[in-house]
Amino acid sequence: MEIRLEKAAETDAKSIFEIQVKAFNPLLDEYRDYETNPANETIEKVLARINNPDGGFYKILSDDVLVGAICLVCEEETQFWISPMFILPEYQGKGIAQKAIRLIEELFPQAETWELKTILQEKRNCYLYEKMGYRREDWKHSLNEKATLVHYKKLC
């Protein structure tokens, strides 16, 4: 299975939006974090991320099939954020997210830090990020009684 990233264009917005909703709907159902869950975002938000001059969306392709996306934002010249990243449910658990993270980090060798936030209760996500060298920071934010957001950071 060949995994590669490709910069998204406005013409990709609908496909990315549909995958984002499919990927995040199970979490929305479980945690009911209606105000923060990407499944509740609009296609306009996807377009804004695609067109962000300080970052953008990258399509995650597995054997030339669009299976997900990873969005990055450069807050300073050397400080990068991943938000959001998602893979279609039927492609999860196959190492695609690990490869996508490696590829996005390789695209920006000037990065001194990579950061992201995720739901603490999603143990698979936390395990993935820790396996990739991210360390949980001393920051937590309760979204509601079911979900807590945590901050991860990787020093390069």
Q: What is the pLDDT of residue 23?
A: 98
Q: What is the pLDDT of residue 156?
A: 94
Q: pLDDT per position in the chain (156 positions), as tens?
A: 899 999 999 999 999 999 999 999 999 999 999 999 999 999 999 999 999 999 999 999 999 999 999 999 999 899 999 999 999 999 999 999 999 999 999 999 999 999 999 999 999 999 999 999 999 999 999 999 999 999 999 999
Taking a C-beta distance cutoff of 8 angstroms, is the pair 99, 137 a contact?
A: no
Q: What is the pLDDT of residue 76?
A: 86
Taking a C-beta distance cutoff of 8 angstroms, is the pair 46, 9 a contact?
A: no
Burial of residue 10 (number of CB atoms within 10 Å: 0-12, 13-18, 19+): exposed
Rounded to whole angstroms, the Cα distance separating 152 from 79 reads 13
3-155 CATH fold:
Aminopeptidase (3.40.630)
Taking a C-beta distance cutoff of 8 angstroms, is the pair 120, 148 a contact?
A: yes
If DSSP codes are grouped into helix, strand and coil, which group holds residue 112?
coil
Residue type, 126: C
Residue type, 35: E
Q: What is the pLDDT of residue 35?
A: 92
